[in-house]
Amino acid sequence: MPLDPEKLFALRFPEIRQTFTWRDSIIYALGLGFGLDPMDERQLCFVDETKLKAVPTMANVLAYPGFWMRDLDTGIDWVKVVHGEQAMRLHRPLPPEGEVVGRTRIVDLVDKGEGKGALVYAERVITDAATGETLATLLQTVFCRGDGGFGGKSETPRVPHAIPERAPDLSADVPTHPQIALIYRLSGDLNPLHADPAIASKAGYDRPILHGLATYGVACHGLMAALCNYEPERVQALEGRFSAPVFPGETITIDIWREEPGRAAFRARIAARDAVVFNNGLFEYAA
Residues 20, 62 contacting (CB under 8 angstroms): yes
Nearest to 156 by CA among 270, 287, 280: 280
Question: Which of 108, 147, 161, 194 is an active site residue?
Answer: 194
Question: Which of 111, 189, 211, 255 is an active site residue?
Answer: 189
Mark whether 24 is an active-site residue.
no
Burial environment of residue 254 by CB neighbours within 10 A (0 to 12, 13 to 18, 19 or more): buried
Mark whether 211 is an active-site residue.
no
Residue 169's CB is within 10 A of a number of other CB atoms, namely 14
Q: How far is residue 232's CA from residue 46's CA, in Å, rounded to a whole number?
A: 10
Nearest to 115 by CA among 152, 142, 145: 145
Q: How far is residue 198's CA from residue 204's CA, in Å, rounded to a whole number?
A: 10
Q: How far is residue 275's CA from residue 283's CA, in Å, rounded to a whole number?
A: 21
Which residues carry out catalysis? Answer: 189, 194
